[in-house]
Structure 1
Amino acid sequence: MAGEPRFRFTKIVVDDLDAQAAFYSAVLGQVVGHRFGGGEGDGVFEEVVMGPARGDDGPSLLLVRYPRRRTPRPGEAVLGFAVADVDETVRAAEAAGGVVRAEPRFLPQVAMRVARVEDPEGHLLEIVQQV
């Protein structure tokens, strides 16, 4: 293996690939890098690879849909996003069909504001802002 191991992506299984990609784009500025699909039998999949608009080589968010499988219940992961304004992001999430699970609050021990929201399919996001 060349170089040090590093975190590269988080992948969540979704029901509606287009709607979920639109949510993450509208609320968190993620852009579609590419789409692809493949597989056979119940392994057939469609996938969207998303990342920040600035195109850095940081971690990516992957959304995958298995049309011949049942989508697992949300809760398999908590997605963490650092943002410039937690309150603005929470309102954008609500406007895009998300649900607020914990309103923004200040955590003095780590000098940040944090909120928790669910995307339209119930996947949990933790939104943080350094202050």
Structure 2
Amino acid sequence: MKAPKIIISEIDLERLERLLESLPANAFPGRAALEAELDRADIVPAAQMPANVVTMNSEVKFRVSSSNDTFCLRLVYPKDATGEGTISILAPVGSALLGLSQGDQIEWPGPGGTMVKVCIEEIVYQPERSGDFHR
């Protein structure tokens, strides 16, 4: 499966790069995959972010193809990952969601090395779409 195009805001990129720099090299297993996603992303100013793209602090409804389970979670930084309705950007599926557009699918390494296919069904809330550029 070819990886879909991803779009990340300048603000999210800057914050994620700072986060990655602050963590030890082996802090989480998906580090290399997240860094590769950041490297291949189209970067845009937050004010120009398309409304159908998953950004940090977006609430996104997505389906995991292997189980056909549907989830609605807010993509957050580790400090905000409460477990209740949130998913950390450092979790494998969290990293996979960032920058995808509604309707996109991506295969991503999951727990235990298995590949997980994720499909974006709806962007329920996006801070940029709401004019909130400070989250």
TM-score of the aligned structures, taking structure 1 as reference length: 0.30
Higher strand share: 1
Structure (1 or 2) with the larger CA radius of gyration: 1
Q: TM-score, normalised by structure 2?
A: 0.30
Greater relative contact order (Cα < 8 A, sep 6+): 2
The structure carrying a bigger helix percent of its residues is 2
